[in-house]
Amino acid sequence: MSSLKKKLEEKILQHRPRTERLVKEYGDVKVDEVKISQVIGGMRGIKCLVTDISYLDPFEGIRFRGYTIPEVLEKLPKVPGAEMPYVEGFLYLLLTGDIPTMQEVEEVHKEFNARKKVPQYVFDILHAMPKDSHPMTMFATAIMSMHLDSVFDKEYRKGIKKTDYWSAYYEDAMNLLAKIPEIAAHIYRWKYKDGDIIPSDPDLDMGGNFAHMMGIDRPYDDVARLYFILHSDHESGNVSAHTGHLVASALSDIYYSISAMLNGLAGPLHGLANEEVLRWLQGVMDSMGGKIPTEEEMKKFVWDTLESGKVIPGFGHAVLRKTDPRYMAQREFCLKHLPDDPIFKYVDLLFKVVPPILLEQGKAKNPWPNVDAQSGVIQWHYGVREYEFYTVLFGIGRALGVCSNIIWARGLGYPIERPKSVTTDMLEEIAFGKKS
Ligand code: NMX
Ligand code: MLT
């Protein structure tokens, strides 16, 4: 057993009695009450999921295992000569709650190396798809196809104990996470670079190897590390995390669950917003003949978008009520590495112009930018201009968090998820006593 798996086993065994006690001794204690507006309104704010891997405070933003983004970036072991930490070390933190030593990070790197060969059938499936398929369709399909190699599926058929499910999910998750960067980079090079595939380099860390396989020089390795870390987890209620959790609760294996997670991420109100931001900005640039618009011109473009019935992509949030710290971390990167980039200037102008307009319009509960408003700019700057690909990058990161959550959910024996629905008649009865 790898040292990461051993440590995880210890942590899961230590944690189980806490969950069991809560259910057995305090199962009837109320956590929340549910209003009709929440039942109809996308279950917003209902406290009905549990995770210790990340927590989202509306005013502070995300903490991973209790650490803010600046703390994570500062405390985790760094790749020599790079600004950003090892993604492998970040995964260790998500899974165990502990900041790893350099040696522990190296062990995760070795574990990934031993698991990273992508089966040829995955590439054959990708090559058989229409080349103009959306990269998210390709990504989700490639991942789902690996159900064929699921360790959990085979163990389950043999009759594995419920308390050991997490171990088989761990095997599948590590196998998948080791392969995911190569699958994503392969989709990129296959679709957009005439199939000129760059082989994986076993000496490089996850972020460095991804940059290498994308064919992009430094500091794109740091961009990859930053991206994967920032996009990894946003507590459990967002569409992608919740979908992954829900699907895995039926004991669908990690490949089915992460593929489903990606399908949720591919919606324009969720992860696809990073693609939409760049598409929308291109519209602004085209209409301005390529010049940076004045503040007044930008305001008009924002109002025109709203009046046409569209949302402003990259702004607003279901939980956050301030600027997303993931936006700020990327903005800091831009200020350091690409302050004069014209698209960054557009995005910075939007940061100034959009929130007061959304406030004036009075609909959005949060007028501030989210993670997606800034992420495409960095990709564009380093030459990834095929903005359809941006949500795949989000998906690589999100897989780290959702895999960690699924392993823990199996470790703590969470049951199949099954909330209750009611009819409109029933809600009317509850609201004002109307009989149907
Ligand atoms: N532009 C225009 N209108 C907005 C925006 C926005 N950016 N954000 C919210 N609204 C509207 C929203 O459409 C709704 O209108 P209506 O009553 O006509 O249906 C109203 O404001 C109230 O919505 P909220 O309660 O503030 O937001 P909700 O929790 O329903 O949705 C988002 C959250 C993120 C889906 C929403 O803010 C949005 O559509 N933003 C733009 C898309 C985006 O950036 N998504 C990415 C989110 C982060 N991620 O990566 O997933
Ligand atoms: C996310 O990262 O999942 C998004 O910010 C959406 C959310 O948290 O609701």
Q: Is the peptide bond before 339 cis (omega within 30 degrees of 0)?
A: no
Is the model's pLDDT at 290 over the cut of 80?
no
Report the C-alpha gap between 284 and 291 in whole angstroms: 9
- Which pLDDT belongs to residue 435? 63
How far, CA to CA in Å, does 42 sit from each of 39, 55, 342?
A: 7, 19, 38
Ligand 1 contacts CB of residue 176 (under 6 A): no
Q: Which atom of ligand 2 is nearest to the CA of 372?
A: 5
Q: How confident is the model at residue 436 (pLDDT cuts 50, 70, 90)?
A: low
> Mean pLDDT score of the chain, rounded to an integer?
96
Give pLDDT tens digits for 187-242.
999 999 999 999 999 999 999 999 999 999 999 999 999 999 999 999 999 999 99
- Residue 222 CB neighbours (<10 A): 21
Report the C-alpha gap between 285 and 217 in whole angstroms: 27
Ligand 1 contacts CB of residue 293 (under 6 A): no
* Ligand nearest, relative to CA of residue 302: 1
Q: By C-alpha distance, which of 274, 264, 123, 108 is closest to 187?
A: 123
Helical (H) or strand (E) element with 163: none
Give pLDDT tens digits for 364-390.
999 999 999 999 999 999 999 999 999
- Residue 391 tokens, joined: 């949500």
Q: How confident is the model at residue 285 (pLDDT cuts 50, 70, 90)?
A: confident
Ligand 2 contacts CB of residue 318 (under 6 A): yes
The residue nearest atom 6 of ligand 2, judged by CA position, is: 238
Q: How confident is the model at residue 116 (pLDDT cuts 50, 70, 90)?
A: very high
Q: Is residue 399 exposed (0-12), middle (13-18) or buried (19+ Cβ within 10 Å)?
A: buried
352-357: which pairs have CB atoms within 8 A and are 24 or more residues apart? 352/295, 353/295, 353/298, 353/299, 353/302, 354/302, 354/312, 354/315, 355/315, 357/299, 357/302, 357/303, 357/306
The residue nearest atom 29 of ligand 1, judged by CA position, is: 318
Q: How confident is the model at residue 287 (pLDDT cuts 50, 70, 90)?
A: confident
- Residue 4 tokens, joined: 């990461």
Q: By C-alpha distance, which of 19, 46, 58 is closest to 370?
A: 58
Ligand 2 contacts CB of residue 236 (under 6 A): no
| Ligand 1 center–CA 104 separation, angstroms | 41
Q: Which of 41-55, 216-230, 333-347 is the least confident region?
A: 333-347
| Ligand 2 center–CA 42 separation, angstroms | 14
Give pLDDT tens digits for 393-404.
999 999 999 999
381 is catalytic: no
| Ligand 2 center–CA 40 separation, angstroms | 20
| Residue of 43, 233, 269, 370 best suited for mutating to test ligand 2, as the one with most atoms within 8 Å of CB | 370
pTM flag (> 0.95): yes
Backbone phi, then psi, for 179, in 5-degree steps? -95, -20
Report the C-alpha gap between 218 and 338 in whole angstroms: 13
